[in-house]
Chains A and B, each alone.
Chain A
């Protein structure tokens, strides 16, 4: 009886702590969403659990920023194009290096893995991108990330776990390498390919440093970058207000409210794809990471 009680107490406290942490991980997203959906004046006074006077006024303001459409388009296209390129090249290379007949296979594979641990550093990379005329080019977003040693390890490990007989019989029937890859390997490797695809899509969607370093053409700005510049302006305003020590007048505060709510709605728009896609894709992530962990 006592043991049961102690067990219950343990379960209660243990789950309690975990639930509080889980809540702290998800509540900020919820907070942003209900605030961006509420009347900005109410939001300014604090809304914590339910939206108040639901309105899309923040989103309407956001929609009036002309650059937002272009940057949504750029973010979406780099995600789609970048993911397709990365998935295809990593899967194909993973397949090729799994071939025992490849001459110099060990060295080829090693030279790819080596890139995981060794890095030329920012400046040489930056200069090379300029030399290759990737500055102010959309290709900057999708070409350098094409080859990823980590994804290649994942795919290769997976392919090597598949029964070799399938491939052999196809080859006996005269199927070439590409046929084997597209008709046999790709369909069989769907779980790992989905994992690589989701990893790389999230990466592409989140990337902004390349934009920041090397792109000055505003038509190529990503949504993340737009949000960052917006936040920086806000921070500058806040620092001025703080150091000036002046109390914000009611006029100014209504302007502030609009700025804050636009910022929140912009954050929601930027984070929403991740929040929507993540729960669906979680099992692929987990599976992929486990495979990587075994190898790593």
Chain B
């Protein structure tokens, strides 16, 4: 408000142009000119690819101009849902890993609460710093570390357990198909818990201290205070993140599961994101993979919008 009124009073040493543009109009044009290169970049890298959705409806042959491709309608969507492919397996893996991920979503919350109970502030800072480091390394590095710890020949864990005669055959979590899901979830927790807790630590720090004092006067002990003050204080944050996670239920990411995949465990670790890569880029099944990508995006958007309206209805607050 104040800014606009100021800008209408263009300083006298900046005369209006011959075209009769006022200073205000000139500034508007200038703003648009300045932002337009960035809007072009946004358009090119985020909106233009949407044209590629049309590949899903044609028998795409690389090299042939797009309007000369043969249009086949919903053929590829029918192929996907006919079940005559890996769709069910991929769906099962994707959903299982996502649900296990959702089931472990409270762990960063518990971690944050435990950390907030540490009275020694230097200790709690150090713990927080150390536990969030794994979040900042790539999945390839996580894999390299997992290899150093768990591989059957050079893995540290196996060496120790064999030396102590706890086991007499090396454990092979990296190539086991039986424990593949649980192993991945554990590794995900190792990587993400510390960082995931930061947002809850902030939420706990934001809780009014008077509430704790009031609870104490009412005779609440440590656990009662956590239950009646801390948890309600961070619940809204938890719900927002949970809803966002639910909308991403079919997109659990390419890198983790691709890096950890091998011939023995791929029947458990093939998820939509890795499958789309394998079919689309490695096998050049462009139409089929694009159709699968559309399916995934549409489900995510539907889930996000329903989560949003649910949040609006329940908490009177929208998340997007």
Interface residues of A (CB under 8 A from B): 7, 10-11, 14-15, 17-19, 21-26, 28-29, 31-32, 35, 44-46, 48, 89, 92-93, 96-97, 99-103, 108, 111-112, 115, 117-128, 132, 143-144, 146-147, 164, 167-168, 171-172, 174, 176-177, 202, 205-209, 213, 224, 227-228, 231, 234-235, 238-239, 241-242, 248, 256, 260, 263-264, 266-267, 270-271, 274-275, 278-279, 282, 285-286, 289-290, 293, 296
B220 within 8 A of A: no
Interface pair B31/A102, CB less than 8 Å apart: yes
Pick the residue among A23, A111, A122, A146 that contacts B276 (CB under 8 A): A122
Q: Say yes or no: A121-B276 contact (C-beta < 8 A), given A206-B138, A238-B153, A282-B132.
A: yes
B286 within 8 A of A: yes
Q: Say yes or no: A290-B301 contact (C-beta < 8 A), given A15-B120, A32-B148, A174-B11.
A: no
Interface pair A239/B132, CB less than 8 Å apart: no
Residues of B within 8 A of A177 (CB): 27, 30-31, 34
Interface pair B3/A164, CB less than 8 Å apart: yes
A-B contact count (CB 8 A): 264
B225 within 8 A of A: no
B-side interface residues, number (CB < 8 Å): 101
Pick the residue among B111, B131, B264 that contacts A239 (CB under 8 A): B264
Pick the residue among A11, A31, A122, A238 that contacts B118 (CB under 8 A): A11
Q: Say yes or no: A296-B53 contact (C-beta < 8 A), given A174-B14, A242-B152.
A: no
29 contacts between A and B (CB under 8 A): A11-B118, A14-B114, A15-B123, A18-B118, A21-B193, A22-B130, A22-B131, A46-B163, A99-B31, A120-B46, A120-B49, A121-B49, A121-B290, A123-B281, A123-B293, A124-B50, A126-B280, A128-B52, A174-B13, A176-B30, A177-B27, A205-B138, A206-B136, A208-B140, A224-B140, A228-B140, A239-B263, A263-B144, A274-B136
| Measured CA separation A242–B175 after assembly (Å) | 10
Interface string of B161-194 (1 = CB under 8 A from A): 0010000000010110000000000000010011
Residues of A within 8 A of B94 (CB): none
Closest 4 CB pairs of A and B: A124-B52, A121-B293, A120-B49, A206-B138
In whole Å, how far is B267's beta carbon from the nearest beta carbon of chain A? 15
Interface pair B281/A126, CB less than 8 Å apart: yes
Interface pair A112/B153, CB less than 8 Å apart: no
In whole Å, how far is A92's beta carbon from the nearest beta carbon of chain B? 7
Would you call the interface of chain B mostly helix, strand, loop, or mixed?
A: helix
Q: Say yes or no: A120-B190 contact (C-beta < 8 A), given A128-B49, A235-B147, A267-B141.
A: no
Residues of A within 8 A of B120 (CB): 15
Q: Which B residues between 259 and 280 are near A, CB-CB below 8 angstroms?
A: 259, 262-264, 273, 276-277, 280
Interface pair B53/A22, CB less than 8 Å apart: no
Interface residues of B (CB under 8 A from A): 2-4, 6-7, 11, 13-14, 24, 27-28, 30-32, 34-35, 38-39, 41-42, 44-53, 55, 111, 114-115, 117-120, 123, 126-127, 129-134, 136-138, 140-141, 143-145, 147-149, 151-154, 156, 159-160, 163, 172, 174-175, 190, 193-194, 198-199, 202, 222, 237, 240, 254-255, 259, 262-264, 273, 276-277, 280-281, 286, 289-290, 293-294, 296-297, 300-301, 304, 319-320
In whole Å, how far is B35's beta carbon from the nearest beta carbon of chain A? 5
Q: Say yes or no: A121-B190 contact (C-beta < 8 A), given A213-B281, A228-B140, A241-B153.
A: no
Interface pair A31/B149, CB less than 8 Å apart: yes
| Measured CA separation A76–B51 after assembly (Å) | 34
Interface pair A209/B255, CB less than 8 Å apart: yes
Q: Say yes or no: A120-B240 contact (C-beta < 8 A), given A89-B38, A174-B13, A242-B152.
A: no
Residues of A within 8 A of B4 (CB): 100-101
In whole Å, how far is B202's beta carbon from the nearest beta carbon of chain A? 5
| Measured CA separation A207–B137 after assembly (Å) | 10
Interface pair B148/A97, CB less than 8 Å apart: no
Residues of B within 8 A of A96 (CB): 31, 34-35, 38
* Complex: chain A residue closest to B175, CB-CB: A239
| Measured CA separation A144–B52 after assembly (Å) | 17
Residues of B within 8 A of A290 (CB): 199, 202
Interface pair A168/B148, CB less than 8 Å apart: no
Q: Given contact pairs A25-B133, A44-B154, A122-B280, enumerate 18 new A-B contacts (beta carbons under 8 Å).
A: A15-B123, A17-B114, A32-B148, A48-B160, A97-B35, A100-B3, A102-B32, A121-B53, A121-B276, A126-B280, A147-B38, A207-B138, A238-B151, A270-B140, A270-B144, A278-B136, A282-B132, A296-B240
Interface pair B190/A24, CB less than 8 Å apart: yes
Q: Say yes or no: A120-B50 contact (C-beta < 8 A), given A25-B194, A103-B28, A147-B38.
A: yes
| Measured CA separation A224–B207 after assembly (Å) | 42
Pick the residue among B55, B156, B320 that contacts A48 (CB under 8 A): B156
Residues of B within 8 A of A21 (CB): 111, 127, 131, 193
In whole Å, how far is A157's beta carbon from the nearest beta carbon of chain B? 15
Residues of A within 8 A of B190 (CB): 24-25
* Complex: chain A residue closest to B308, CB-CB: A117
Interface pair A108/B35, CB less than 8 Å apart: yes
Interface pair B262/A239, CB less than 8 Å apart: yes
Pick the residue among A31, A168, A231, A271 that contacts B137 (CB under 8 A): A271
In whole Å, how far is A100's beta carbon from the nearest beta carbon of chain B? 6
Residues of B within 8 A of A123 (CB): 52, 55, 276, 280-281, 286, 289-290, 293
Interface pair B172/A242, CB less than 8 Å apart: yes
| Measured CA separation A14–B39 after assembly (Å) | 50
| Measured CA separation A207–B297 after assembly (Å) | 23
Interface pair B42/A115, CB less than 8 Å apart: yes
